[in-house]
Amino acid sequence: MCFRLQITMTEFDAMKENLTEYGQEHLLKYWEELSEDQRCLLTKDIEELNLEEVNEFFARATSSLAEENLKLDDKMEPVREEQYLSISTTDKKQLERYNEKGLEQIADNKVGVLLMAGGQGTRLGFAFPKGMFNVGLPSNKSLFRIQAERILKLQRLAHDLTGKSGRIAWYIMTSEHTMYPTKKYFEENNYFGLSPDDILMFEQGSLPCYDFEGKILLDQKYHVAKAPDGNGGLYRALRDRGILDDMERRGVSYLHAHSVDNILTKVADPVFVGYCAEQNADCAAKVVEKSHPNEAVGVVCQVDGKYQVVEYSEITQHTAELQKPNGKLVFNAGNICNHLFTSDFLRKIGSTFEKELKLHVAKKKIPFVDETGTRCNPEKPNGIKIEKFVFDVFQFAEHFVTVEVPRDEEFSALKNADSAGKDCASTARADIYRLHRKYIEAAGGTVEGTECEISPLLSYAGENLEAVVHGQIFSSPVHLMAQGECSDISNTE
């Protein structure tokens, strides 16, 4: 339906003049063929474009294409030891101190979570937001439910420690296409026991798609071709959607940001929060030890003295294989899209540095309207999409730290259908089973078989299981639940 009655000739002439100034007047090529409603839709798309900015984005992004094949070896240094915490080699009492400090921050309402949940489950063969996906655990819980229950449990642990009923604000960044089904799913599931007031959903931004000469493409005669602006678009969205203001109103000091598709994510991890608080870090990254030199993950390191993520394609094989005296890789800190920011840092990014973020170019096959007015699906890349990456703010941190976590405890990506054999539902499920079996055995129990799941409502990370499992023998499939928890959870599909 048209959002206004009609577009006047005066408005049309002004719009055409503005488009012409920036070389984008072709967007009006089919104006005479459009209905009044279609004209309104096209006008709305065009009015949402900051033409000066989008032209500048194209120029900046394409200028970086020449740098794609440059290697950064000579400019790179590993993370400094004093800014690097390894969970595996840190004393347990020290970790417990960080954990208590983090729980105290949660009890004081100072911790929020930013969930990057804009992706569809297309590669999984799933026609809904990826967070709704059920990997096939005995509980049939979706990714959204698992993460929500981890938040609930943390709030209870913080209360048990401090006597305060602190709440974790959960900010969920969706895309244009996942917002409605995500909201509906949370409403239908009563927000998984969390307060609706503590869950705020907002859309990430989008950027127009261009041909290789910088002309904005039309997806339809009345619709500009657009694509999400990448996970680095969260900084502008936090500012423009009022999330930074909401954090200030609630007194949130720390925001744990992570992607939806890591089933092992320790949501609002109190050890991570506590360590960052003690170190006065304004920006932090969790990493895992690279499995081998050629693993296709970026590494967190310094380039010209500033922290950033260097992609595996940006270094030579020689540098990738460099080893320390102990045999570990020199550039070993594999990035897993798991970060912590202070609210002050995010405010600084939004007000000062967001416009300086690097723009990354992806050459894609983008549906478009050709010279004859026909919508085409190209067989080879015909244009570019521009994205921002979440980690490109590291360079602006005044005190950056890195936390290396055990891969088998905190990282299991879910990206592909089972036919791929990796980063799929089968591997995610197996990683949960393996970790939860380890928790039970550490608490004095025994598991016969492979299928083993512990509800987050019973234990966040293996704590307080002794009274439930010590001396017990469990036969697979095992599904340990909290007292009063209902096991009748419907399949999310």
Q: What tokens were used for 451?
A: 């299928």
**What is the rounded CA–CA span in Å between residue 487 and residue 473?**
21
The radius of gyration computed from the CA coordinates of the chain, to the nearest angstrom, equals: 24
Which pLDDT belongs to residue 328? 92
Which CATH code, of 3.20.20.80, 3.90.550.10, 3.40.50.1000, 3.40.50.300, is assigned to 66-427? 3.90.550.10
**What is the rounded CA–CA span in Å between residue 170 and residue 157?**
17
pLDDT, averaged across the chain: 93
- Which H/E stretch holds residue 97? helix 92-107
**What is the rounded CA–CA span in Å between residue 186 and residue 174?**
13
Angle at 173 between CA 45 and CA 406, to 5 degrees: 140
DSSP string over 411-457: --B--B-GGGSSSBHHHHHHHHHHHHHHHHHHTT-EEESS-EEE-TT
- CATH 3.90.550.10 intervals, the chain: 66-427
Backbone dihedral angles phi then psi of residue 115, each to the nearest 5 degrees: -100, 120
Which pLDDT belongs to residue 489? 40
Which pLDDT belongs to residue 488? 45
CA distance to 66, 315, 386, per residue, from 70 (Å):
8, 8, 20
Which pLDDT belongs to residue 66? 62
**What is the rounded CA–CA span in Å between residue 421 and residue 430?**
12
3-class DSSP assignment, residue 380? coil
Helix, strand, coil percent content, the chain, rounded in steps of 5: 40, 20, 35
DSSP string over 159-210: HHHHS-----EEEEEE-TTTHHHHHHHHHHTGGGGS-GGGEEEEE--EEE-E
Q: Are strands 383-387 and 210-211 parallel, antiparallel or unpaired?
A: antiparallel
Which pLDDT belongs to residue 493? 32
Measured from the Cβ of residue 422, the count of other Cβ atoms closer than 10 Å reads 10
Angle at 430 between CA 172 and CA 185, to 5 degrees: 30
Say if CB 118 and CB 105 are below 8 A apart.
no
**What is the rounded CA–CA span in Å between residue 102 and residue 201?**
24
Say if CB 178 and CB 116 are below 8 A apart.
no
- HSE of 456, CA atoms in CB hemisphere, 13 A: 25
> Chunked in runs of 10, what are the mean pLDDT values of the chain (493 residues)?
65 92 96 94 94 93 71 90 95 98 98 95 90 96 98 98 98 94 97 98 94 96 93 94 98 98 98 98 97 93 94 90 93 96 97 92 93 93 94 96 98 94 96 98 96 98 96 96 70 32
Residue type (1 letter), 219: D
Which pLDDT belongs to residue 491? 32
User: What letter would DSSP give residue 338?
Assistant: E
Contacts of 188 (CB under 8 A, 6+ apart): none
CA distance to 9, 120, 326, per residue, from 209 (Å):
28, 19, 48
Measured from the Cβ of residue 10, the count of other Cβ atoms closer than 10 Å reads 8
